[in-house]
Amino acid sequence: MAADRLAPAQASRVTVEVNGTTYEREVESRRLLIHLLRDDLDLTGSHVGCDTGNCGACSVILDATLVKSCMLLAVQVDGSSIETVEGLADGELSPLQQAFSDHHALQCGYCTPGMLMSATALLRENPTPSDDEIANAIQGNICRCTGYWNIVKAVKAASGQEVGE
């Protein structure tokens, strides 16, 4: 019953699966999802960039849907399943991560966790995206270093398509 959560200062128990592991935490209603991930679960791969829903550095996949984790409350994900950048590598880099490395798709790396999650969501829906489709998919992710082109190339390479120089 939801009514027990209405006292503002009251914490509620949130059960959430992140990268295949189930976590239970007491969470204040005002807590943003990104802070549950970073501060309570110590999954600091997802970054806080702008904290206003513009930059996409905090992007995660929530129940198969790409979202910005600074734009949700942690209590809203009770019972959900989340994928973060920590879930991509399985002992070694995922093909997408390796392609980012091979194509120099990052410089400072701050936007990379969000870029990788947006690209992961894209490649699941569209295994062979065009340059335009990749650009549209990462429209909600801001990079201030590489100018995007190497990111587009990396995503295209990860999809097994040829990329020009």
Partner 1 sequence: MLLREVGYARPRTTDEALGLLGEYEGARPLAGGQTLINVMKARAAAPDVLVDLNEIAELKGIELGADGTLEIGPMTTTSELIAAQEARARPILVEVCSQIADLQVRNRGTVGGNLCSSDPTNHLPPVMVAIGARMTIAGQFGERTVPADEFFLGVYMTAVGPGELLTKVTVPPGRSDGFSSVAVGKDGTCIVNAAASANGELRVVLGCVGAVPEVIRPDGTDTEAVRSAVRAAQLTPPGDVHGSSEYRRALAEVVAARAAAQATERAGG
Residue 155 phi/psi, 5-degree rounding, is -65, -40
72 binds partner 1 (CB under 8 A): yes
Position among 101, 128, 139, 144 found at the interface with partner 1 (CB under 8 A)? 139
Among 15, 21, 101, 136, binds partner 1 (CB under 8 A): 136
CA–CA distance, 114 with 90 (Å, rounded to integer): 18
Residue 7 in the binding site for partner 1 (CB under 8 A): yes
Piece of 3-11, 81-89, 92-100, 155-163 that binds partner 1 (CB under 8 A): 3-11
Query: Is residue 52 part of the contact set for partner 1 (CB under 8 A)?
Result: yes
32 Cβ contact partners less than 8 Å away, ≥ 6 residues apart: 69, 70, 71, 72, 73, 74
Residue (70 or 154) nearer to partner 1, CB = 70
Footprint of partner 1 on 94-113 (CB under 8 A): none
Instruction: List, in sequence order, every beta strand (DSSP E) within 29-156.
Output: 59-62, 65-68, 81-83
**Cα torsion angle, 49, 50, 56, 62, sign:** positive
Min dist. Cβ of residue 124 to partner 1 (A): 13
Cβ atoms of residues 119 and 155 within 8 Å: yes
Binding site for partner 1 (CB under 8 A): 2-3, 5-10, 12, 28-30, 32, 51-53, 56, 59, 65-68, 70-73, 75-76, 78, 118, 121, 136-137, 139-140
